[in-house]
Amino acid sequence: MELANIEILIKKYLKAETSLQEETTLKNYFTGGNVPPHLQEYEYLFQYFVNAKQDTFTQTISLKPKKSSKNSLKWFSVAASILLLISVFIGKQEYEKYQAKKIYAQVSKGLKLLSTNLKKGEEAVANLYVYEDSVKKIIK
Partner 1 sequence: MKASDFLNIVLPFKDKVFRLSKRLLVSREEAEDATQELIFKLWKNRDKIAGYKNVEAFAMTMTKNYCYDRLKSKQANNLTLIHSNYKENETALDKKLEFKDSVHQVHQLIENLPAQQKMIIQLRDVEQYEFDEISKMLDMKPTAIRVALSRARKTIREALIKKHNYGVS
The residues that touch partner 1, with contacts defined as CB under 8 A, are: 13-17, 20, 23-24, 40-42, 44-45, 47-49, 51-57, 59, 61-66, 68, 70
* Residue closer to partner 1 (CB basis): 4 or 52: 52
* Nearer Cβ to partner 1 (41/122): 41
Q: Is the Cβ of residue 41 or residue 132 nearer to partner 1 in the bound state?
A: 41
- Nearest-approach distance from CB 27 to partner 1, in angstroms: 9
What is the smallest separation between the CB atom of 92 and partner 1, expressed in angstroms?
Answer: 33
Q: Which is nearer to partner 1, 65 or 125 (CB)?
A: 65
Smallest distance from partner 1 to CB 96, Å: 39
DSSP annotation string for the chain = --HHHHHHHHHHHHTT---HHHHHHHHHHHHSS---GGGHHHHHHHHHHHHHHT----SPP--S----HHHHHHHHHHHHHHHHHHHHHHHHHHHHHHHHHHHHHHHHHHHHHHHHHHHHHHHHHHHHHHHHHHHHHHH-
Q: Could you tell me the smallest distance in angstroms from the CB atom of residue 40 to partner 1? A: 7
Residue (56 or 136) nearer to partner 1, CB: 56
At 15, the amino acid letter reads K
Q: How far apart are CA 60 and CA 67, in angstroms?
A: 15
Q: How far is the CB of 102 from partner 1 (least distance, A)?
A: 46
